Structure 1
Amino acid sequence: MDEMTRMHRPGEKVPASGIYECTCGQGHRFTSTDVLGHTFPPVPHECSGVGWNLLTPAHAERSP
């Protein structure tokens, strides 16, 4: 499974800069622009999702 399809759980290290969307399908977004040392935040309080999926890589030519 590649980074474009893998779900990332809150607390995991962000593997690539980009825009991540919550797995609930309601359009909750998390934008990571400085990856080094960052971890995924919890999903929004009102959200039924359990993690984050990469929606748009910040640098498509360097994405995994």
Structure 2
Amino acid sequence: MDGLTPPNSPKYCKSCMLFAGLKAMVSIVFMLFKIRDKLNINQYKSYIVENKTEFIIKFRFNI
């Protein structure tokens, strides 16, 4: 963490590597969620624009 600990010391490997791995995993998961949300929103918008009347009929009458 402080830059003075040698990379091959067990303390560095246990705590810092685990922490870095957790941070990387969390950021990747958040990135995936952001990408998925953007894709879903874009698909939803295009679906509503293309099939507006069909969407309203399905929504009102639950067909």
TM-score range, shorter chain: under 0.3
Whose strand proportion is higher, 1 or 2?
1
Return the TM-score normalized by structure 2.
0.18
Return the TM-score normalized by structure 1.
0.18
Whose helix proportion is higher, 1 or 2?
2
Higher relative contact order (CA 8 A, sep 6+): 1
* Higher Rg: 2
